[in-house]
């Protein structure tokens, strides 16, 4: 440890009951340095950072800040030591302005001098190149603006050490670039930055050093300049994983779903979809790209019968009974069946399956406190005869999924909330696939998943595609969409701004379509 070391952790250990989340982890971060903390899901990255920011208290180990050994007992202690964390879920008060949020919770005597705060906020913004209006209310802000407020908030409080937990998960490629520019400015100013991320290209782009955790253990730290994505992946997962995603070609394509002039309003009465039209084919993975909140959720819900449709049509074309996965193809000869106006159960029976994965994985597709068996039968419990539930079939299904998808769980009776993210995802997608759908819709199926789990999900989706299923995939990682999908529909502000061939399209092209109308706003 030399004088330039901002933070030093030694043998930090934290256990949650029987789970060792962090096992004797040691780290060092210098001043004016960006450290990327890399690791698969459940490897203990967030836990470790939560101990630095005072949310958790370590069971054992020592922490030095600026060469002094310290005890961080609360977020306040952390803040007094100049450590600020920007969490994945923003902690802002919607009805207050940026400046009010920034000073919120500071003990200051006397009246709040708004002008002074605004001046200081502007000064910080100019220094690092933020784009922020101190008087704007949070509810009027985009996700990236909210993130900016969070960052300015910790800087305003004098943080010298910033921890960012997956900051790019919610940003467009352009916004990510902006954020990185700001981070570089802060680094030049001597701040220490720890950035938690899954995305290897971002690690390579922004960091000076990379520390890798695997299953709660510290694997090592390398200089970014001396490594490459492949080597980092090896450190993360323990063995080599090819980065290419498979994209097989189905034997034939078959019109399955036709959306025509769809208009919807979201739960807040705001127009969510405007005149959306596209087709989805059996034997194809259709990507749906767009900045978060561009109408993806409403679109999938409308198809599943969960969202009221104002006008427009959704036609479903059942596969011809003589078509099979061996390649015998008889074109669809029936007229489309209108899905608008049908209830979710009817649509499910037709074979349209929604594996919706909202922000928190356990939110909607699964019941967190129930075990796998009870979750398996969530959509099928009505099928058995009589008033009693049949738990034998779902139990068999759960056991089958555990084996086939290598789900790590103590058993079928363990509540799914005790499973790690990747395993929860496998449970959800596995259940949807088990209902042998003809249309499979998934949203963010790999959000927050480690590389191994992600590939399992990609494999499952490809298998479905090869069976002739029309797969609709709402995604956020453009690299993945471009490598996995056959075609991509791009949504922007509830409109379709383009449909591209994923085999030939470039990331810039899609990124531009994603921000076509929002672009002006971002510049304003």
Burial class (CB in 10 A: 0-12, 13-18, 19+), 456: buried
Does 71 bind another protein (CB under 8 A)? Our answer is: yes
CB of 393 to another protein, least distance (A): 13
CB of 59 to another protein, least distance (A): 5
Does 369 bind another protein (CB under 8 A)? Our answer is: yes
Which residue has tokens 């890399």?
38
Stretch touching another protein by CB under 8 A, among 44-52, 209-217, 341-349, 516-524? 341-349
88, 89, 116: which is closest to 102 by C-alpha? 116
CB of 411 to another protein, least distance (A): 14
61: left (phi over 0), alpha (psi -120 to 50) or beta: left
Nearest residue (CB) to another protein, 58 versus 493: 58
254, 168, 198: which is closest to 486 by C-alpha? 254
At residue 255, the 3 state secondary structure works out as: strand
Stretch touching another protein by CB under 8 A, among 36-44, 200-208, 317-325, 374-382? 374-382
Does 414 bind another protein (CB under 8 A)? Our answer is: no
Nearest residue (CB) to another protein, 73 versus 115: 73
Site for another protein in 274-313 (CB under 8 A): 304, 306
Q: Which of residues 345, 436, 506, 517 is near another protein by CB under 8 A?
A: 345
Stretch touching another protein by CB under 8 A, among 215-223, 253-261, 332-340, 359-367? 359-367
Q: What is the DSSP letter of 217?
A: E
Residues 6+ apart with CB under 8 A from 89: none
Nearest residue (CB) to another protein, 361 versus 467: 361
Nearest residue (CB) to another protein, 223 versus 345: 345
At residue 403, the 3 state secondary structure works out as: helix
CB of 168 to another protein, least distance (A): 27
CB of 378 to another protein, least distance (A): 4
Nearest residue (CB) to another protein, 69 versus 463: 69
CB of 304 to another protein, least distance (A): 8
Rounded Cα distance between 146 and 141, Å, is 6
509, 478, 493: which is closest to 289 by C-alpha? 478
Across-strand partners of 482? none
Does 216 bind another protein (CB under 8 A)? Our answer is: no
Rounded Cα distance between 179 and 156, Å, is 17
- In the sheet that holds 470-474, the strands lie side by side as 352-355, 439-443, 470-474, 284-289, 487-492, 495-501
Instruction: Give yes or no for a contact between 144 and 177, defined as CB atoms under 8 angstroms apart.
Output: no
Stretch touching another protein by CB under 8 A, among 275-283, 381-389, 432-440, 449-457? 381-389
Nearest residue (CB) to another protein, 365 versus 437: 365
What value, to the nearest 5°, has the Cα angle with vertex 234 and ends 86 and 161?
20
CB of 344 to another protein, least distance (A): 4
For residue 93, the tally of other CB atoms under 10 A from its CB is 12
Stretch touching another protein by CB under 8 A, among 52-60, 270-278, 315-323, 329-337? 52-60
- Count residues near another protein (CB under 8 A): 40
Burial class (CB in 10 A: 0-12, 13-18, 19+), 110: exposed
Q: What is the DSSP letter of 233?
A: H
Nearest residue (CB) to another protein, 110 versus 410: 410
Measure CA 237 to chain center: 19
Nearest residue (CB) to another protein, 4 versus 62: 62
Q: Which of residues 11, 23, 80, 483 is near another protein by CB under 8 A?
A: 80
The packing angle between helices 143-156 and 114-128, to 10°, is 100
At residue 349, the 3 state secondary structure works out as: helix
Instruction: Give yes or no for a contact between 372 and 408, defined as CB atoms under 8 angstroms apart.
Output: no
CB of 13 to another protein, least distance (A): 9
Does 3 bind another protein (CB under 8 A)? Our answer is: no
Nearest residue (CB) to another protein, 70 versus 512: 70
Rounded Cα distance between 507 and 524, Å, is 24
Site for another protein in 16-35 (CB under 8 A): 16-19
Nearest residue (CB) to another protein, 14 versus 214: 14
Site for another protein in 245-274 (CB under 8 A): none
Q: Give the helix/strand (H/E) hosting 156.
A: helix 143-156
Does 139 bind another protein (CB under 8 A)? Our answer is: no
Does 230 bind another protein (CB under 8 A)? Our answer is: no
CB of 117 to another protein, least distance (A): 19
Binding residues for another protein (CB under 8 A): 16-19, 57, 59-60, 68-71, 73, 77, 80-81, 304, 306, 343-345, 348, 354, 356, 363-370, 374, 377-379, 381-382, 387-389
């Amino acid at each position: 440890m030399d004088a330039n070391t901002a933070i030093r952790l030694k043998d930090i250990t934290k256990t949650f009951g029987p789970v060792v989340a962090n096992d004797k982890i040691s780290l060092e971060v210098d001043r004016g340095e960006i450290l990327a903390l890399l690791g698969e899901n459940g490897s203990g990255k967030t836990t470790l950072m939560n101990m630095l920011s005072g949310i958790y208290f370590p069971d054992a180990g020592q922490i030095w800040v600026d060469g002094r050994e310290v005890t961080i007992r609360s977020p306040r202690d952390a803040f007094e030591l100049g450590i600020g964390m920007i969490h994945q879920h923003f902690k802002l008060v919607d009805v207050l302005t940026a400046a009010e949020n920034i000073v919120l919770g500071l003990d200051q005597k006397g009246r709040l001098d708004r002008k002074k705060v605004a001046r200081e906020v502007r000064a910080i913004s100019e220094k690092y190149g933020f784009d922020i209006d101190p008087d704007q209310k949070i509810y009027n802000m985009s996700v990236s603006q909210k993130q900016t407020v969070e960052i300015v908030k910790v800087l305003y409080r004098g943080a010298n050490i910033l921890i960012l937990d997956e900051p790019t998960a919610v940003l467009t490629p352009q916004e990510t670039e902006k954020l990185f520019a700001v981070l570089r400015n802060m680094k030049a100013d001597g701040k220490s930055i720890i950035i938690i991320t899954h995305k290897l290209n971002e690690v390579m782009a922004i960091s000076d050093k990379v520390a890798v955790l695997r299953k709660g253990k510290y694997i090592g730290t390398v200089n970014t300049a001396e490594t490459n994505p492949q080597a980092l992946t090896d450190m993360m997962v323990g063995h080599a994983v090819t980065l290419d995603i498979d994209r097989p070609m189905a034997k034939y394509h078959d019109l399955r779903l036709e959306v025509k002039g769809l208009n919807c309003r979201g739960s807040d009465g705001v127009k969510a979809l405007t005149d959306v039209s596209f087709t989805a084919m059996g034997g194809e993975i259709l990507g749906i790209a767009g900045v978060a909140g561009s109408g993806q959720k409403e679109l999938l819900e409308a198809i599943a019968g969960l969202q009221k449709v104002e006008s427009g049509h959704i036609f479903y074309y059942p596969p011809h009974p003589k078509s099979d996965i061996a390649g015998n193809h008889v074109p669809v000869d029936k007229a489309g069946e209108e899905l608008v106006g049908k209830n979710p159960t009817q649509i499910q029976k037709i074979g349209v399956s929604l594996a919706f994965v909202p922000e928190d994985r356990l939110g909607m597709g699964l019941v967190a406190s129930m075990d796998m068996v009870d979750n398996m039968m969530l959509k099928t419990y009505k099928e058995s005869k009589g008033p009693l539930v049949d738990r034998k079939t779902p139990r068999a299904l759960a056991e089958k999924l555990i084996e086939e998808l290598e789900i790590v769980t103590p058993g079928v009776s363990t509540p799914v909330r005790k499973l790690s993210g990747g395993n929860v995802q496998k449970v959800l997608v596995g259940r949807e696939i088990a209902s042998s759908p003809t249309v499979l819709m998934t949203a963010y199926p790999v959000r927050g998943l480690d590389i191994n789990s992600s590939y399992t999900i990609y494999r499952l989706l490809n298998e479905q595609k090869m069976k002739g299923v029309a797969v609709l995939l709402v995604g956020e990682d453009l690299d993945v969409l471009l490598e996995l999908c056959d075609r991509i529909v791009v949504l922007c502000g509830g409109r379709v701004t383009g449909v591209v061939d994923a085999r030939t399209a470039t990331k810039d092209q899609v990124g531009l379509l994603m921000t076509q109308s929002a672009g002006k706003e971002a510049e304003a």
